[in-house]
Amino acid sequence: MRTRSSLRTLAVSFLGQILNLILLFVSRRLFVQCFTQEYLGVNGLFSNILTVLSLAELGIGTAMIHGLYRPAAIGDKAGICRLMNLYRVLYGAVGSVVLVLGIVLIPVLPYFVQESGIPGLRLIYCMYLFDTVAGYFLSYKQAVLAAYQEAWRTTAVTQAARSAQILLQMLVIVYLGNFYIYIAVQMCSQLTANIILSRIVSRRYPYLRENRKEYPARETIKELFREVWALSMHRLGGVVVSHTDNLIISTFRGLALVGIYSNYQMVLNSIRLMMSYIYNSFSPAIGNLAASKDWERIYEIFNALDLLLSLLYGWLALCLAALFNPFIRLYFGVDYVLPLPVVVLIVLDFHLHGMRQVILRFRDGMGLYWYDRYKPVAEIPLNLVISVVLVRYLGIAGVVTGTIISSLLTNFWIEPFVFFRYGVRKEWKHKFLQYYVCRMMHAAVLIVDSSVLLLLHMRLPVQNFADWTFWGIFCTVLYGLTAFLVFHRRREWKYLWTKGLEQWKALRRKMLW
């Protein structure tokens, strides 16, 4: 049941995201032809500002889903009602706080923007603010779908709304060329998706409307706020490290550079979103498995998923290092291309972030976030100090370097330590060391393949999209062969191969039937 639900969520996510990815690239090409680099920068800057404001959420969403896993598994409808009543109140409070903080920031917006000729910046910011705040009053119900392992419904609606949004925005660019209407379309599509999902939850789980006044016991609330406190620290670290880059670049280097960087971010964010559908599709199953407290089974599944995601992120990193700049040059123009060393740093940051995701899913699903709650206390100042100092001399490279160094000094060892010490438990020291041995093997594969690509790439540069496609196929074959030689004897590889064959045979039987 867990595997079937995860694969259904994954299938819906991927099909929708592939369509949206194609539409997004067409839309961005039209955008750069119609609007200046500063408009691209505004989109990235205001998104970052509102993400920082979303710190008011404090990780309530993650605590919500984790708290709902057990009552959903045992069919405790009354317990789910009480928790959802509490979450409704908390999310309403969060939305109100974000609204107030957002309004307070309006007078100081010019301090984050250098030399911008864009009219109506405050109006554009208010539109982004409304879009963010509205989601808090409607999206909390979606936690129920995740708890019942029906996250594919959320994905299907959000993907459909996203497709409609991009198509409408393309029409706005071509026929109206109005940035305000462009943002209004985004607001309406996300609002519509949240309303539809809210109604789906109400219809599928009508018992949620039967009792809207009872709340969990004092002990449950106390435990919830204990988890929220720990999660708030993690959220603080994640937001500051991942979503202040554009703020720093805009403040010290201007919106135009943010606009150039935003094309690289668009590609990476699209890939991250697709990858998130993979590991998020397994999150409810991980939470369900964690409730069983079968530690050996948990470790077995962790190893399999870790190998799967590590191989995927290794392949993506190799392809990005070779193909990122040629794609930007061919699709957007040479004016939007960053120097290769900067791109290598951006790809390294992407790779390090991706390699953490399986650990984080297990940490959240098993409720282990209390043990490393103070990690951001070291991570945040490291990131901000290094980024602010280096951005003056290195620009984007300095900001990305700050993120990489802070991650290596904190996340790289603290998160695995917490998972193995408090999640795996049995023989955790030995398994902890094995984890890093495997990391070194993945790094060796990437170093060898990158060296081969660098030697060949210098002699055969990319001149057109046919060359670009050839290099993409070559990267895939090269990495696939190297990874197979290194990892095919591992038990996790055999487990993934067996599971894949089982699901393929089951799919074929359904299709033939």
User: What is the secondary structure of 222-266 as a DSSP string?
Assistant: HHHHHHHHHHHHHHHHHHHHHSSHHHHHHHHH-HHHHHHHHHHHH
> How far from 66 is each of 80, 283, 362, 492, CA to CA, in Å?
12, 10, 11, 27
d(CA 500, CA 216): 42
**Structure tokens that stand for 417 in this block:** 């330590």
Residue ranges for the chain with pLDDT beneath 70: 1-17, 37, 40, 44, 52, 54-59, 113-117, 281, 284, 291-293, 458, 503, 506-513
Q: Which residue has the tokens 């996300």?
A: 190
| Nearest alpha-carbon partner for 166 in 43, 22, 347, 284 | 22
d(CA 217, CA 207): 19
pLDDT recorded at residue 392: 87
pLDDT recorded at residue 132: 81
Q: How many CB atoms lie within 10 A of CB 140?
A: 24
pTM of the model: 0.74
d(CA 176, CA 430): 62
pLDDT recorded at residue 59: 66
Burial class (CB in 10 A: 0-12, 13-18, 19+), 246: buried
pLDDT recorded at residue 241: 76
Kindly report, residue by residue over 317-354, the tens digit of the pLDDT.
999 999 999 999 988 888 889 998 999 999 999 999 99
Which amino acid is it at 373?
R
φ, ψ for residue 399 (rounded to 5)?
-65, -45
What is the DSSP-derived secondary structure letter of residue 337?
Answer: P
Write out the H or E segment, with its range, that includes residue 393: helix 375-394
3-class SS shares of the chain: helix, strand, coil, % to 5: 85, 0, 15
Asked if residues 341 and 397 have their Cβ atoms less than 8 Å apart, the reply is yes
pLDDT recorded at residue 461: 78
Write out the H or E segment, with its range, that includes residue 401: helix 396-409
d(CA 510, CA 381): 54
